[in-house]
Amino acid sequence: MDPSEVTQLIEAGFDGAIVKVMSNDNTHFEALVVAAEFAGKRPLARHQLVYKCLGSLMGNEIHAMSIKALTPEEWREAGGGA
């Protein structure tokens, strides 16, 4: 899968999210997802929300994914919203 396809799938699952997906081989991915839906959720729950967007692609077309899931406030505090 192309990173742009993965980006579109994740974006479709969140309102107004910032999504950046990278891959060197189109099977192993790194994703940054900044979404208000993550507020009050632990990292595992945040990752599960991202996995839900990808459905059966996880473990198949997408062999592995490293996810950094932040709220907009966490993103700003990390210097990403500047």
**Burial of 64 per CB tally in 10 Å (0-12, 13-18, 19+):** exposed
Sign of the torsion angle spanned by Cα atoms 43, 45, 46, 47:
positive
Tell me which residue of 57, 82, 77 sits closest to 21, measured CA to CA.
Answer: 57
- Separation of alpha carbons 59 and 78, rounded Å: 30
| CA angle 30–34–38, rounded 5-degree value | 110
pTM of the model: 0.93
Domains of the chain: 3-77 (3.30.300.90)
User: What's the pLDDT tens digit per position in 2-59?
Assistant: 999 999 999 999 999 999 999 999 999 999 999 999 999 999 999 999 999 999 999 8
Q: How many residues does the chain have?
A: 82
